[in-house]
Every structure is written in structure tokens, then in C-alpha cells.
Structure 1
């Protein structure tokens, strides 16, 4: 063989990087983290890479391209260089991770499709909640209604929001009740920081709120929606029989972290409504 065709016994870092399709900087990083052993150095104190170095570099490149983290590649080589058991274990864990990612992508795609199909904020609620609202005419729910359901579902879960949806079903189908609800909401909002907690208006609004809630509950009972609520609990039990819901915090903790801009007078009004309900 002509000498010009003789392959080199060792190459410099630039040639090694070019051959493996990487960069000298990446190779130096492999050395720093112990992924690639330091090679011999020539008389110019520069690294020289031989056949075994290039083989390992190619394996590193292939495994990195497959999505394996550099630390895992290093552990794989450390565990078993000859038998390949370390690499096999890493590949098995990578496959499991990819399966989980695929499942998460499917979940995200399903959620996105629901949002597009339901439209606006309705699509942000779970199927369990939106199923409760399917019978309502389009546009009969207000944005504030959906916002309230979103907060309730986040704090109490889908069952709590589905039960709360009963309230908005009645308001959406009974204009007189909706009008009265708007009036009392406005009266409560007027109890701002300029109103003292012992102002007579506080007790008056509390009495009006109590009367309204009693009227609302009466309509719910007359329409049979309270029986639907009972069915919701049964449906939820069946739905979650084999599925434990994982919550990052309790409902009490969540409520304590949700800001509400209520004045002392308005808070006192809410307390009076509870007292009236108790009696």
C-alpha cells in the first residue's frame, strides 16, 4: 500500500471531532466529566486519539443522539464496558422515559383538542364538569361563571366544580334569579374599605344574600337538580374507583393561597350569611 494511503495511528482533537461529527469543545467536555478518558499527548502537548478512543467517541455520539444524558452514558460505560449490561439498562430506562413522554403528549393533544372543540374557557374544565353543562344553550354561561368553576375545580377537584355548576345552570335558565344575583353581587362589591364592619348596610346585604340563596336552593329542589347532584357523587365514585387523585396541596392550603380582594365589611357580611344559614 502506498504510504499516502496509510491511515494515521493517532489524530489530533480537531480531526477526531470532524470524524465523529462533533466539536473539539464537546470532546473536551467529555474529558472533564469523565465520560472519555484523557488520551496520550504528543511532543507538542496536544491530545492524540487512537482507535479505541474513536470507538468510544462514536458510541458516545450515537447514544447522545438517541437522547441519553451524558451522565447516564458515563454510568453505562462504568457499570459494564465489556458485557454491555450497563448500556442495556440505560436503554431500557430511556425507552420507559420515552413511553411516558408519548403518553404525556397524547394527554396534551387530547386537552388541546377539547379546548378547540369546547371553545374559550369551557375547554379548560374537565370532561366531568363540562358534561354537566352540555344542556345549556351556547353563550348562556358568563365568563365569570366559567372562571369560578375553574377556581373551584382547581381547589376542590372536578366533583366540587360539577356540583357548583348546578348553581350556574339555574342562573343561566332563570333570568329573574340572574338579575337578582347581579344586584346582590353589586351590593356586596359596594361594601368596600370605606364601609365599617358595623355599618347597617352590611347586615342588610347579608340578609338579602341569605334570602337569595334560599330562593336559589328552592328552585334547585323544584327542578330536580339536587337529585342530579346525588347522581354526580355516584358517577364520580365509579369514575375514580381505581384511580387515586394526586393533589399537591389540601383544599384548605389552596384556599389560603388564593387571593380575594374582600374588605373587612364584605368578610363580615359573609360571616353573617353563614350565621343566618345556621339558624
Structure 2
């Protein structure tokens, strides 16, 4: 070092920021929140930072880079003002930070697994639970519709993975029986036509209800003949075996994401909007009545 070079005893805020690896604005913020004491000003009314100021600033930057919140750094300094940067004053803070980082890592792993699953199963299919996805595997390409997946998504939200997996049986039957799918489309269109312009006592309401009942009976027969109902029974058995009674419905949710927790079936159903006209609701009631009558 040249003999003519004089080491500064104090530096301005710009030099302090450059040395610490931050900005003057950050240093001013540290002053505002009481993290870094306000230094004395020189004759030009500008802040001047000395050796101790710089040491504290460096520790603040290192701790912030490690993920410690500024409020926690301030708390650590307050608990151990003499040796906050080298002693036990920040042990509790570091423990909290480590726990938070571990939780973040676990969440990142969960998110990465979900993204990878979406890429393997398909962007929509991969959003459903494993139980539902496994039920739909092996179907002919293009036989499963977007509306089918939308319905399963809603069902899983309300009734959980098991309910959606059982409902998936319906779409498996439709996907593997083109004539049945065609009839389903026809009934769906007839029901959709029962809009607000149709009176609840219109003869078409009862007619469509009868057609819906006939279709559902035919669908149920196909499910039985193809052995899909036996698959449903196996689903229930496997579910019960994997989740013994604990008295805690949350533990039996099984979604893994918590998305269906904290809301009863009735609450969830009441919060999901359906654009159904009075005539269509009456049609559903009549179809349900026919179904109950046929079982007696």
C-alpha cells in the first residue's frame, strides 16, 4: 500500500453500501426500522459510517442473505447487543429459520411431484388424485372428455378421492360403449334445453325425466355386466383397509393436499354454483323419484 494512501476513518453512505453489497436505500431502511443506528453526520450534513457501523452492516447483510427476516435480526441484536453476530443471541431465530426452510423444501418437493405427475398423466388428468387417475388408465385415446374431468374435479372437491373414483366408473363405461355415450349426449342436450323459458309443469320436463331414468338404468346394467361394480367394491375395501377408523374425517380425506378439508359436503355443495333452471331441477327430482320407485 503506498505510504501516501490514507485509510478513511469514516465513509459516506454510497461507499458503505458498495462495500456491504447493498444499496443506500437499503441502509436508510435499516435506520428507519431501528436495525442500524443512525450515524453522526459530517459538516456537509451527510451520514458518515465508521468501522463499527460497517461491521454491523456486514452482519446484517450476511444474516439477511441466509434468509433471516429483518425483524428477527433486529430482535437478535436487541437480545444480545454485544455479541449478536457471534454468540447465542440468534440461536432461537436460526432455529425458526431452519424450520421454515425445511417446510419450504417439503412444499417445493410436493409441488415438483405434482408437476411431474401432470406431465406424465396429462395436464388435466394429473390434477386429480392417484385413486381417480388409476381408475381411468387404459381408456381408449380421446374417449375421455374434458367435461368428464371437470365433473370429477368437482366431485373430488366435495366427496374426496374415493367418491370421485367411484364416479369415474360412469365415465369408464361411457368411454368404452360408444352407443351409450351417444345416448348420454342426447339426454344431456335435452336436459340443457329445459332452460328458464320452460315451465316446471311443461310435459317435456316429465318426458326428459323418464328418459334420464331409462338411461341411468341402462348405464347401471352395463356397469354390472362389465364387472365395473366389482371394481368399485374393491375400491371400498382397499380404502377401508388403508385407512382404519380413527374418528377423524380429515385423516380419511386422502387428497394429500388438504384441498377438501375444513368443509362439510353440505357446505361444499352450497358453495358450488350450478346454472340450473327450475324446470331442470324439477326434471332431476322426477328422475330421482322414478329411480326410488323402481327399487321398491
TM-score of the aligned structures, taking structure 2 as reference length: 0.86
Please say which of residues 89-98 and 153-162 is displaced more in the overlay: 89-98
Corresponding residue for residue 65 of structure 1: 65
Query: 1:27 deviation in Å?
Result: 0.6
Cα-to-partner distance string for 1:129-160 (whole Å, 9 max, x where unaligned)? 11111132222212211121122112222111
Q: Tell whether 2:224 aligns with 1:217.
A: no
Cα-to-partner distance string for 1:48-95 (whole Å, 9 max, x where unaligned)? 222221111001111111222211211221222326333222222222
Corresponding residue for residue 100 of structure 2: 97
Q: Which runs of 4+ in 1 moved over 3 A?
A: 1-6, 237-243
The answer on whether the counterparts of 1:79 and 1:85 sit within 8 Å (CA) in structure 2 is no
1: CA distance between counterparts of 2:150 and 2:141? 16
Corresponding residue for residue 292 of structure 2: 278
Query: 1:39 deviation in Å?
Result: 1.9
Corresponding residue for residue 273 of structure 2: 259
Q: 1:195 to 1:28 in 2, by over 3 A?
A: same
Please say which of residues 20-29 and 34-43 is displaced more in the overlay: 34-43
The answer on whether the counterparts of 1:205 and 1:269 sit within 8 Å (CA) in structure 2 is yes
Please say which of residues 53-62 and 220-229 is displaced more in the overlay: 220-229
Corresponding residue for residue 203 of structure 1: 206
Query: 1:100 deviation in Å?
Result: 1.8
2: CA distance between counterparts of 1:12 and 1:206? 83
2: CA distance between counterparts of 1:40 and 1:14? 15
The answer on whether the counterparts of 1:39 and 1:49 sit within 8 Å (CA) in structure 2 is yes
- 1:1-279 pair list within 5 angstroms: 4-81=4-81, 82=83, 84-240=87-243, 244=251, 245=253, 246=258, 247-279=261-293
2: CA distance between counterparts of 1:86 and 1:255? 52
Q: Tell me the matched-pair count.
A: 279
Decide which structure has greater helix share: 1
Q: 1:33 to 1:239 in 2, by over 3 A?
A: farther
Q: 1:12 to 1:240 in 2, by over 3 A?
A: farther
Unaligned runs of 5+ in 1: none
The answer on whether the counterparts of 1:17 and 1:27 sit within 8 Å (CA) in structure 2 is yes
Query: 1:161 deviation in Å?
Result: 0.8
1: CA distance between counterparts of 2:93 and 2:40? 29
1: CA distance between counterparts of 2:107 and 2:264? 25
The answer on whether the counterparts of 1:115 and 1:124 sit within 8 Å (CA) in structure 2 is yes
Q: 1:125 to 1:45 in 2, by over 3 A?
A: same
Cα-to-partner distance string for 1:5-41 (whole Å, 9 max, x where unaligned)? 4433322222211211212111110010111112223
Unaligned runs of 5+ in 2: none
TM-score of the aligned structures, taking structure 1 as reference length: 0.91
Q: Superposition RMSD on alpha carbons, in Å?
A: 2.2
Q: 1:113 to 1:23 in 2, by over 3 A?
A: same
